[in-house]
């Protein structure tokens, strides 16, 4: 970090196969390899494997012994018996499509594993004051630095925990986000307030390699950051639901309300489509406040 005297991050040693990986079934290993070849994020790989494992446990048989009718029965079980959320159901459908189309190369019509109709919900956004109060309730210096980064720069939590000291450039006042979602790099502004807090954090912790180190030479896990916010929310007394991703939503909504144009916001968030970013136009109240209801008397001319 220029101007902060952060050391250059050392190269990490290659990861070796664990005993569990060596003992895994050929089908599981092949699915992992197919996911890796296509550049799926580690979190996505883990999620796909977990969904397929649950599918296999449900029938007590290997997925390569199961067919289309079994997939349909399993999805109906998730909907009617377990009553899983829409997002969870989509994850299972995506995982099973990948398994049978790519890994097992079954000549199926993908419509036999249909995607459910997508539900549309607007995110509930806390005010700037509520978010600042929440961040102030985070006692751990490292955890507060991560959560502040998510809000100040609109980072996904997986991007924040993977930051390195060299990604913070105080001379240009930018943060370099390396290989974010869909393996894309981007640059976001560095908040002056965040910079000062990161300097305080760095002087206290002196991190090596990762800006937010965890155990065994790895970066801090996403789960730790999520738990830190959950604890802070309980301490804060805020009643509305707030997750780490809500901080990113707050960044986008509050910038939009401050006058940032939609195209700039798209680049800052790293969205592939402007349609994804446009959801914040429905959340922002700046334009809504300027609309006069037909029930109200018209304002006098100035």
Please state which CATH number belongs to domain 128-288: 1.10.443.10
Nearest-angstrom CA–CA distance, 107 and 101: 7
Nearest-angstrom CA–CA distance, 73 and 205: 52
Opening angle at CA 26, ends 25 and 32, nearest 5: 95
Q: 133 an active-site residue?
A: no
Q: 275 an active-site residue?
A: no
Amino acid 21: pLDDT = 42
Question: What is the residue whose two structure tokens read 């980072």?
Answer: 155
Closest to 150 in 3D by CA, of 169, 166, 134 = 134
Choosing from 156, 164, 186, 219, the catalytic residue is 156
Residues lower than pLDDT 70 in the chain: 1-24, 110, 117-123, 180, 182, 279-296, 298-299, 302
Nearest-angstrom CA–CA distance, 263 and 90: 29
Amino acid 19: pLDDT = 38
Task: Parse the chain into domains and list their residue ranges.
Answer: 19-112, 128-288
- CA distance between the termini of the chain: 51
Choosing from 58, 133, 178, 181, the catalytic residue is 181
Query: Burial of 119 by CB count in 10 Å (0-12 exposed, 13-18 middle, 19+ buried)?
Result: exposed
Three-state secondary structure of the chain: CCCCCCCCCCCCCCCCCCHHHHCCCHHHHHHHHHHHHCCCCHHHHHHHHHHHHHHHHHHCCCHHHCCHHHHHHHHHHHHHCCCCCHHHHHHHHHHHHHHHHHHCCCCCCHHHCCCCCCCCCCCCCCCHHHHHHHHHCCCCHHHHHHHHHHHHHCCCHHHHHCCCHHHEECCCCEEEECCCHHHCCEEEECCHHHHHHHHHHHHHHCCCCCCCECCCCCECCHHHHHHHHHHHHHHHCCCCCCCHHHHHHHHHHHHHHCCCCHHHHHHHHCCCCHHHHCHHHHHCCHHHHCCCCCCCCCCCCC
Alpha carbon of 217 to those of 134, 203, 210, 280: distances in Å?
A: 29, 19, 8, 38
Please state which CATH number belongs to domain 19-112: 1.10.150.130
Q: What is the dihedral sign for C-alpha 1, 194, 279, 123?
A: positive
Q: 248 an active-site residue?
A: yes
pTM metric for this prediction:
0.64
Q: What are phi and psi of 184, to 5 degrees?
A: -110, 140
Q: What are phi and psi of 290, to 5 degrees?
A: -85, -5
Q: What is the dihedral sign for C-alpha 202, 203, 205, 206?
A: positive
Q: 233 an active-site residue?
A: no
Nearest-angstrom CA–CA distance, 207 and 49: 33
Choosing from 30, 128, 133, 245, the catalytic residue is 245
Q: 143 an active-site residue?
A: no
Q: 215 an active-site residue?
A: no
């Amino acid at each position: 970090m220029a101007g902060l005297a952060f050391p250059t991050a050392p190269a990490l040693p290659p990861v070796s196969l664990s005993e569990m990986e060596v003992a895994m079934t050929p089908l599981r290993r092949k699915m992992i390899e197919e996911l890796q070849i296509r550049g799926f994020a580690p979190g996505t790989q883990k999620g796909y494997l977990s969904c397929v494992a649950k599918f296999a446990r449900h029938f007590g048989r290997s997925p390569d012994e199961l067919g289309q009718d079994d997939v349909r029965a399993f999805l109906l079980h998730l909907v009617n018996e377990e009553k899983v959320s829409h997002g969870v159901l989509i994850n299972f459908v995506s995982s099973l499509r990948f398994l049978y189309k790519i890994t097992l190369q079954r000549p199926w019509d993908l419509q036999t594993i249909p995607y459910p109709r997508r539900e549309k919900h607007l995110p509930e956004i806390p005010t700037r004051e509520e978010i600042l109060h929440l961040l102030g309730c985070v006692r751990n210096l490292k955890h507060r630095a991560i959560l502040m980064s998510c809000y100040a720069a609109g980072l996904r939590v997986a991007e924040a925990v993977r930051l390195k000291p060299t990604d913070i450039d105080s001379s240009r006042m930018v943060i370099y986000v390396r290989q974010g979602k869909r393996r894309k790099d981007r640059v976001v502004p560095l908040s002056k307030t965040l910079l000062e807090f990161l300097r305080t954090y760095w002087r206290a912790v002196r991190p090596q390699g990762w800006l937010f180190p965890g155990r065994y030479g790895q970066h801090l896990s996403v789960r730790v950051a999520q738990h830190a916010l959950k604890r802070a929310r309980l301490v804060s007394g805020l009643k509305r639901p707030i997750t780490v991703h809500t901080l990113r939503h707050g960044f986008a909504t509050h910038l939009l309300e401050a006058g940032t144009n939609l195209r700039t916001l798209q680049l800052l968030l790293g969205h592939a489509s402007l349609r994804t970013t446009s959801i914040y136009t429905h959340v922002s109240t700046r334009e809504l406040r300027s609309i006069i209801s037909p029930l109200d008397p018209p304002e006098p001319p100035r």
